[in-house]
Amino acid sequence: MNYEQLFEQIKLKKSFLCTGLDSDYEKLPKHLLLQESPVFEFNKQIIDATAEYSVAYKPNLAFYESLGVKGWQALEKTVDYIRGNYANIFIIADAKRGDIGNTSKLYAKAFFENMNFDAVTVAPYMGEDSVTPFLSYNSKWVILLALTSNKGADDFQYFKENDTLLFEKVLKKSQEWANKERMMYVVGATRAEMLQDIRRIIPEHFLLVPGVGAQGGSLQEVAKFGMNDKCGLLVNSSRAIIFADNTENFAIVAKQKAKEVQTEMEILLKQKGII
Amino acid sequence: MNYEQLFEQIKLKKSFLCTGLDSDYEKLPKHLLLQESPVFEFNKQIIDATAEYSVAYKPNLAFYESLGVKGWQALEKTVDYIRGNYANIFIIADAKRGDIGNTSKLYAKAFFENMNFDAVTVAPYMGEDSVTPFLSYNSKWVILLALTSNKGADDFQYFKENDTLLFEKVLKKSQEWANKERMMYVVGATRAEMLQDIRRIIPEHFLLVPGVGAQGGSLQEVAKFGMNDKCGLLVNSSRAIIFADNTENFAIVAKQKAKEVQTEMEILLKQKGII
């Protein structure tokens, strides 16, 4: 999916919601545990309930890898299920990978060839040749970690050379590798006050924004400081939607929660004059 | 395996070789492709041939993930095979993971509970809470990326605040999270000239050193600048050993190559007065 197609979906669904499929086995509704693949069954019902309001889905790989082979199978089935049942959904492998060139190339193969993801999150520490192998696929994206939502972001991401912070250096340097059509950045909602500065460096790029909801970030603030005239935002919510309820009603409640977020997003998109 | 036990193995085997199981499917000897699990069969024969000379094995996850479920199965079988057949081998998941706290915890579960790895390589960009979940297991290790062997290391790892480079900041800051008994650092052999400075910051820690062999680093230089009185080095070689030959003789040739490296290491250990 390319930049314009993603923007079209945002206008069509009046939403820039990315639903995070952080499908922690320990938190699944108990009645699903009898299924052959509880995680896949959970995802399937969540997707059916929320696809109307979500432009993107983002499974975090840790929740699948921690289940070994069964987890990997559930992940593959989830991507296939979205592709088979819903058109024009942007699917992100939240993998935070990154390795030397010939190795990153194989991670790219895993996510873009074997599985039909649109994007992979990549950690920038190892630099250009750890990132560019993910850019050799048409219409596939790198989402580079810039300023993350966790407490540990303070340890290194604000490291400062002259007047440039490390995450700003990541934003600047990586523009040599790909433009807004192929690269996005992770910027945590808990750092909304930094979005103004970030938009000075990358006015047009999409940002993937985690941390709204369970982690305490504000959607209003993110839109105020981060939205551009092509929206330029994918705001992720995981736990606050998918684990809002853990009874047999979980999908109905997830649908309500996703709709609530979408409604708020629709207002923000109208205020900006996008729809 | 703890610090002293690892040092004992180094003295016993007169080697600080880590054999990298970067078992690229495309490069496997053709006669193995008829096996049910060609990657596992390859690893099994490589391990049998080289265990005498290797204190550690390091599968890089990308080579397994790129094969999907079959790759994951081959990885699990490889770890089980080493544990079942060889005592006191240090096994490293070269995964370069790192995510927010509750997510890193699940990666830790994947590698330390589901599979019996001794250590995981972790990317430092997200800071403390992305690293510490890996430290909650007894006798398990984090190997933190510090100064990597690839060209892209120049992009961010030499970023400088006052007189401190980013990789030095990583070395310093991370000492607040764990000591030499639980943390090692990745320092590329292609950066051997930096090892003197690094040893000033972390005189006692083990370093995992990739980049000798195919990437051009020198074992002599690494030992000269990086070895301490407990050796303090695990030097990795992957392609130069495991893909030295791709005929039916591959394991015999791998054994010769591993023995050559071990012989060189034995001389270096003697020069240092360790054995």
Q: Is residue B257 part of a domain?
A: yes
Q: Is A247 exposed, middle or buried (0-12, 13-18, 19+ CB in 10 A)?
A: exposed
pLDDT at site B267 = 98
Position B214 scores a pLDDT of: 67
Catalytic residue among A70, A77, A96, A224: A96
Long-range contacts of B170-173 (CB under 8 A, 24+ apart): B170/A156, B170/B124, B170/B144, B170/B145, B170/B146, B171/B146, B171/B198, B171/B201, B171/B202, B172/B201, B173/A155, B173/A156, B173/B128
Could you read off the pLDDT of B107-153 as tens digits, one per residue? Answer: 999 999 999 999 999 999 999 999 999 999 999 999 999 999 999 99
Torsion of CA B142, B20, A70, A97, to 10 degrees: 60
Taking Cα atoms as reference points, which of A190, A179, A15 lies closest to residue A88? A15
Q: Is residue B9 part of a domain?
A: yes
Report the catalytic residues of B.
96
Mean pLDDT of B49-74: 97
In single-letter form, the type of residue at position B90 comes to: F
Q: Is B36 an 8 Å CB contact of chain A?
A: no
**Helices (H), strands (E): how many in chain A?**
12, 10
Chain B closest CA to A244's CA: distance in Å? 17
Those of residues 121-140 in B touching chain A at CB distance below 8 A are 123-131
Q: What percent of chain A has pLDDT over 90?
A: 95
Question: Which residues of chain A lie closer than 8 angstroms to B123, CB-CB?
Answer: 96, 98, 123, 125-126
* 3-state SS class at A40: helix
Amino acid letter at B255?
K
Question: Does the beta-carbon distance from A66 to B149 stay under 8 Å?
Answer: no
How far is Cα B95 from Cα A28, in angstroms, rounded to an integer?
Answer: 27
List, for residues B167-217, the tens digit of each pLDDT value: 999 999 999 999 999 999 999 988 888 999 999 999 999 999 998 876 777
Three-state secondary structure readout of chain B = CCHHHHHHHHHHHCCCEEEEECCCHHHCCHHHHHCCCHHHHHHHHHHHHHCCCEEEEEEECHHHHCCHHHHHHHHHHHHHHHHHHCCCCEEEEEEEECCCHHHHHHHHHHHHHHCCCCEEEECCCCCHHHHHHHHCCCCCEEEEEEECCCCCHHHHCCCEECCEEHHHHHHHHHCCCCCCCCEEEEECHHHHHHHHHHHHHCCCCCEEECCECCCCECHHHHHHHHCECCECEEEEECHHHHCCCCCCCHHHHHHHHHHHHHHHHHHHHHHCCCC
Amino acid at B115: M
Query: Residues 40 to 59 of B: which have CB under 8 A from any A CB?
Result: none
The whole-angstrom distance between residue B235's C-alpha and the CA centroid of its chain comes to 7
- A70 exposed, middle or buried (CB, 10 Å; 0-12, 13-18, 19+)? middle
- For chain A, say whether B214 makes contact (Cβ under 8 Å): no
The Cα of A270 is separated from the nearest Cα of chain B by a number of Å equal to: 33
For the segment B45-54, what is each residue's pLDDT rounded down to a tens digit? 999 999 999 9
Write out residues 239-258 of B within 8 Å (CB-CB) of A. Answer: none
Torsion of Cα atoms, A216 then A221 then A225 then A229, to 10°: 110
What is the token pair recorded at B199? Answer: 């040893």
63-92 of A, contacting B, C-beta below 8 A:
63, 65-69, 72-73, 76
**Domain assignment present for B69:** yes
Where does the pLDDT of residue B227 fall: very low under 50, low under 70, confident under 90, or very high at 90 and above? Answer: very high
Residue contact B100–A149, C-beta within 8 A: yes
Q: Per the CB < 8 Å rule, is B154 touching A68?
A: no
Chain A and chain B share a number of CB contacts under 8 A equal to: 170
Q: Output the pLDDT for position A244.
A: 97
**Which of B151, B161, B166 is opposite residue A129, by nearest beta carbon?**
B151
Describe the crossing of helices A3-13 and A250-271 by its angle, rounded to 10 degrees: 110
- Please, what is the angle between helix A250-271 and helix A219-226, to 10°? 30
Length of chain A: 275
Mean pLDDT within A91-98: 98
Written as six digits, the tokens of A231 are 């929206």
Judge whether residue A214 has pLDDT over 70.
no
Owner of token pair 């060609």? B38
**Residue at B274 is within a domain:** no
Chain-chain contact of B69 with A76 (C-beta, under 8 angstroms)? yes
How many structural domains compose chain A?
Answer: 1
Work out the mean pLDDT of chain A and round it to a whole number: 96
Is B27 part of any domain? Answer: yes
Please determine, for residue B28, whether its predicted confidence score (pLDDT) is greater than 90: yes
Q: What is the pTM of this model?
A: 0.97
Distance CA A149, CA A169 (A): 18
Q: Is residue B256, in this structure, part of any structural domain at all? A: yes
Measure CB to CB from residue B126 to each of A69, A101, A152 and give the nearest one: A152
Per CB-CB distance under 8 Å, the chain B contacts of A129 are 150-152
B96 φ, ψ (degrees, to nearest 5): 50, 45
Q: What does the pLDDT average to over B86-114?
A: 96
Residue B275 belongs to some domain of the structure: no
Write the residue in B73, B125, B159 that is nearest to A123 by C-beta. Answer: B125
Q: Looking at residue A251, which CATH number applies to its domain?
A: 3.20.20.70
- Kindly state the average pLDDT of the residues A41-46: 98
Report chain B's C-alpha Rg in angstroms. Answer: 18
Cβ within 8 Å, pair B103-A173: no
Is residue A189 within 8 A of residue A149, CB to CB? The reply is yes
Strand partners, A185: A144, A207
Q: In chain A, which residue ranges form alpha helices assigned H by DSSP?
A: 3-13, 38-50, 62-65, 68-85, 101-108, 128-131, 153-156, 166-174, 195-201, 219-226, 239-242, 250-271
Domain that holds residue B174: 3-269
Instruction: Give the gap in angstroms from C-alpha A109 to the nearest C-alpha of chain B.
Output: 6
Q: Residue A34 has what DSSP assignment?
A: G
**Which residues of chain B have a CB within 8 Å of the CB of A68?**
72, 76, 110, 114-115
Q: What is the pLDDT of residue B191?
A: 81
> Mean pLDDT, to the nearest integer, of A17-25?
98
- HSE-up of residue A52 (Cα within 13 Å, Cβ side): 12
Contact B60 A123 (CB under 8 A): no
Q: What token pair was written down for A183?
A: 């690269």
- Based on the residue annotation, tell me whether A224 is a catalytic residue of this protein: no
- Would you say A54 and A23 are in contact if contact means Cβ atoms under 8 Å apart? no
Distance (Å, whole) CA A220 – CA A228? 14
Of B18, B67, B68, the residue nearest B47 (C-alpha): B18
CB contact under 8 A, A152 and B166: no
CA–CA min distance B160, chain A (Å): 5
Decide if B159 touches A, using CB distance below 8 A. yes
pLDDT, residue B212, reads: 85
Interval B205-230 mean pLDDT: 90
Query: What one-letter code names the amino acid at A3?
Result: Y
